[in-house]
Chain A
Amino acid sequence: MRKAIQLRVMLWIEGEDEPAHDFAHSTIQAVREIIAAGSQIYPGLEVRIKKISEDTDFDDEDEAGLENDEDT
């Protein structure tokens, strides 16, 4: 049978770059190329990128980052 799945992937990318250079733009392009190159390993799977964008919703996380020192 033909199957399909929509995956949401979260990546952390770190590297050297000039301070003012657009890191979001260059890393998004890099991820597109990495997926394109890697998908050749699985010719039976058709991989299509629907959306890649920077995650800026740091405050939209659970309360884990908000716990405070009760014993201070």
Chain B
Amino acid sequence: MTRKQSILVALISIMAIAAIVYVIWKPEVIEDVAKLASIETTQTSSISGAIGHVIDSPPGSLPDLAVKPKPSMTSFKGCPPTGDGGDRDLNILKNREDDSPYFPVKFDAVMALTWPKEIERRNRNKWSAPHRAEIARYEGIPIAVEGYLAGAKESGPESTNCHGANKEFKDYHIWLTKHPDEDRSVSIVIEPTPRLLAKHAGWRLSAFRKLVNDKAKVRVSGWLMFDPEHPDQIGKTRGTIWEIHPIMGIEIWYQEGWMPLDEWVTLVPIKERNK
């Protein structure tokens, strides 16, 4: 070994010892590393399981899918999947109707997702390629998340639904929280779209409101989607701008098992509102 190599080895050794001493002295460094590890994804090459069902495993991190299902492109009562304006690429995602097996993921795995500031309030056709790739890593993953509903309301006319003024074109905005009694400032927005509402007789606003009042534990399945439109609402009417949109399934924890909402509404009396 030359003299130069000896000095280099000595320097590396000193730096390694210093790093170990620093970690022992400051244990929060280990906690930070653990936090980073907790938002890591699970390596999964493909989706396997029964269509429309939640994969039978405990909720975990988001899967890192190499290939994701392409959104279906169907019209609804004359309204194309692109809607009638606005961000047409986003509308395609919101208007998908294809079903899938769903990966059970922890509530916090969605809340931990980030995004580049530059794409907030910007249409997708104006995003840079790296930003597009960053969002595409997670967007379009079929997931199932457990939680509680903090509120539900019918939305106004939107470009996604061709600004339809009638009830059949309105979607619901629903807020999913990790714990009961939390408000929507820490929620994930979940949306059943008109296309899905038409397929599920039990998905009525009164039923969702009953779940809110009952503080019922629910499991929501659907497509993970990024909506850049309302970053200003974080901490007010939502906890993140990542959404489960559209939701494809909703189940209620009832008598020691998960029961689909369509079935639950036939067992539980629900008062309809006049307005």
Interface residues in chain A, defined as those with a beta carbon under 8 Å from any beta carbon in chain B: 14, 17, 19-25, 54, 56-60, 65-66, 68-72
Rounded to whole angstroms, the CA-CA distance of A22 and B162 in the bound complex is: 8
Q: Of B79, B173, B189, B269, which is within 8 A of A20 by CB?
A: B79
Interface residues in chain B, defined as those with a beta carbon under 8 Å from any beta carbon in chain A: 77-80, 82, 84-86, 151-156, 158-159, 162-165, 173, 184, 189, 206, 209-210, 212-213, 229-230, 232-233, 236-238, 269-271, 273
The answer to whether B151 and A66 touch across the interface, beta carbons within 8 angstroms, is yes
Return chain A residues, CB-CB under 8 Å to B154: 65
Return chain B residues, CB-CB under 8 Å to A56: 158, 229
B240 to chain A, nearest CB (A): 13
Return chain A residues, CB-CB under 8 Å to B156: 58
Chain A residue, CB-CB nearest to B211: A68
Q: Of A19, A54, A57, A66, which is within 8 A of B230 by CB?
A: A57
Q: Of A19, A25, A58, A69, which is within 8 A of B273 by CB?
A: A69
Dominant secondary structure of chain B at its interface with chain A: loop
Return chain A residues, CB-CB under 8 Å to B232: 60
Dominant secondary structure of chain A at its interface with chain B: loop
The answer to whether B212 and A68 touch across the interface, beta carbons within 8 angstroms, is yes
Chain B residue, CB-CB nearest to A15: B165
A23 to chain B, nearest CB (A): 4
Q: List the 10 shortest-distance A-B pairs measured between CB atoms, nearest first.
A: A19-B78, A22-B85, A65-B153, A66-B151, A68-B209, A23-B163, A59-B237, A72-B271, A19-B162, A19-B79
